Amino acid sequence: MITKQRFLKSTRQIAMMVLIALVSLGGATGCKSKKNIAKDKAAAEYASKVEMAKKDLNSILDGTSTWSLAEKEQRFQTIKSWNLEDTEVQSLLDKVEDKLARDRADVQRKAEEERLRKEEETRLKSEANKYDPIENYFKAIAASPDAVTANEKIAGAMQLFSTPDVPVLIIISQAGGFNDYDRPTTISKYLDYLKDQKTYNSRVNQVKYDANNRISELELIKK
């Protein structure tokens, strides 16, 4: 027959065992719950990156982004570094890489064209400036207040030419790559013309020099 003391002792032991089982079950459940939460969080972050990658890559492809080329390339590299195992993202990465390569080539081409344009502009400006001494003489002769001053300027200008009979060609019109010239004259006659007319309405277009670096032929074009 079970005594009261033995009954109470057995009851306490059972209660203790139940308590230990509950604590163990609660700990295991809590650990499993934390693992699930971490797993769900990682999955959510991955899905968010996939959606962000698709959005950004598509905006680069369709030209709706406001990023500079450098910013697009940086964003592309960032998304690529995520190593997303998504078929659509991988396809978009390939397309964006091709587009960025074409964009870089286009930027380089435009930069080269701009460099060449500036070089040509500088060359033409230099070409125009080298004729300034001739132009200045012509303007000074036309603007001379009297014949004596004009003759002095003419004598100075003639030092630039090989002979007084150097031919002067004057273009009066241009069309289809062809020039239409006025009646040929010589430098001595042209300078006298400037003295008499008191106006210079042309510009130097081309100059030929002899072995002594003096002008042997002059081509003007009417403005």
Instruction: Please choose, from the candidates 220, 201, 206, 221, the residue with its C-alpha nearest in 3D space to the C-alpha of residue 143.
Output: 201
Last residue of a domain, one of 88, 109, 129: 129
Q: Long-range contacts: 89-95, Cβ < 8 Å, 24+? A: 89/50, 89/53, 89/54, 89/57, 92/53, 92/54, 92/57, 92/58, 92/61, 93/57, 95/57, 95/61
Residue 179 is assigned to a structural domain of this protein: yes
Q: What does the pLDDT look like over 51-76, one tens digit per residue?
A: 999 999 999 999 999 999 999 999 99
Confidence check: pLDDT of 1 > 50 = no
Instruction: Please choose, from the candidates 144, 155, 157, the residue with its C-alpha nearest in 3D space to the C-alpha of residue 218.
Output: 157
Residue 204 is assigned to a structural domain of this protein: yes
- Whether residue 94 is found in the same domain as residue 138: no
- Whether residue 179 is found in the same domain as residue 205: yes
Q: What does the pLDDT look like over 169-219, one tens digit per residue?
A: 999 998 888 999 999 999 999 999 999 999 999 999 999 999 999 999 999
Question: Residue 81 sits in which domain range?
Answer: 67-129
- As a whole number of angstroms, the distance between CA 222 and CA 203 comes to 7
Last residue of a domain, one of 81, 104, 129: 129
Instruction: Give φ, ψ of 186 to 5 degrees.
Output: -115, 165
**Total domains, the chain:** 2
Task: Report the pLDDT value the prediction gives residue 126, as an integer from 0 to 100.
Answer: 75
Last residue of a domain, one of 95, 129, 163: 129
* Mean of pLDDT over the chain: 87
What's the whole-model pTM score?
A: 0.48
Confidence check: pLDDT of 23 > 70 = no
Token couple for 147: 């014949």
- Whether residue 217 is found in the same domain as residue 145: yes
Q: 176: which DSSP letter?
A: T
Q: Which of 3-7, 30-34, 212-216 has the highest mean pLDDT?
A: 212-216
Residue 109 is assigned to a structural domain of this protein: yes
